[in-house]
Amino acid sequence: MPDATSPRLSGTVVHGAGRGRMLGFPTANISPDPGSDVPPPAIYSGWLARPATGAVHRATISIGTNPTFEDGSRVHTEVYCHDTSDDLYGEHVALWFVARIRDTVRFASVDELLLAARADVRRSEALLDSARGRRVLAAAAR
Ligand SMILES: Cc1cc2nc3c(=O)[nH]c(=O)nc-3n(C[C@H](O)[C@H](O)[C@H](O)COP(=O)(O)O)c2cc1C
């Protein structure tokens, strides 16, 4: 896990499969910049910084192959922002990781995935408000 002063993941927001919006969890799909250090597959809590607007958003991040829906090996970096429904397509953004929440799971149903994702967001909210969360925010907002 990078600390607040480590390089963070940056990349461009691209179109995903479009499932997220349907599920009530619209995610920004990030295409990482070449040479970016993408953390190992898991669910994370973190901050999404938008240089275009100067805003920093509360986020829960899924890095993985979306095994509930896909059999492929392509790793997706998807960000659910808690506090905005802005369309970020085409923007260059940076992710600042606060904590790892859990492993990615191949759920048997979409309902189970949604239950887990809601719990992840609650956990993420607490982590973002923790001392470490605030330290990382200070670095992200610089
Ligand atoms: C908080 C959160 C947790 C997630 N956890 C999992 C998971 O454990 N397993 C999984 O297959 N996908 C997980 N996902 C990824 C979803 O499968 C993905 O966001 C959804 O399929 C939408 O994809 P799309 O943006 O490409 O349309 C998670 C997404 C979020 C936002």
CATH code of 55's domain: 2.40.30.30
In angstroms, rounded to a whole number, what is the distance separating the alpha carbons of residues 83 and 81?
Answer: 6
Residue 140 lies in a domain: no
Residue 111 lies in a domain: yes
Residue 121 lies in a domain: yes
Number of domains in the chain: 1
Residue 79 lies in a domain: yes
Element holding 19 (H helix, E strand): helix 19-23
102: containing domain:
9-135
Q: What is the pTM of this model?
A: 0.95
Hey, what's the torsion of the CAs at 96, 135, 101, 11, to 10 degrees?
0
For residue 104, give the ligand 1 atom closest to its CA: 8
For residue 19, give the ligand 1 atom closest to its CA: 27
Q: Beta strand 28-32 with 92-102: parallel, antiparallel or unpaired?
A: unpaired
Residues of the chain above pLDDT 90, percent? 82
For residue 79, give the ligand 1 atom closest to its CA: 31
Could you read off the pLDDT of 94-108 as tens digits, one per residue? 999 999 999 999 999
The candidate with the shortest Cα–Cα distance to 131, out of 19, 17, 1, 3, is 3
Could you read off the pLDDT of 62-116 as tens digits, one per residue? 999 999 999 999 999 999 999 998 889 999 999 999 999 999 999 999 999 999 9
Minimal-distance CA residue to ligand 1 atom 3: 117
Residue 124 lies in a domain: yes
Minimal-distance CA residue to ligand 1 atom 15: 66
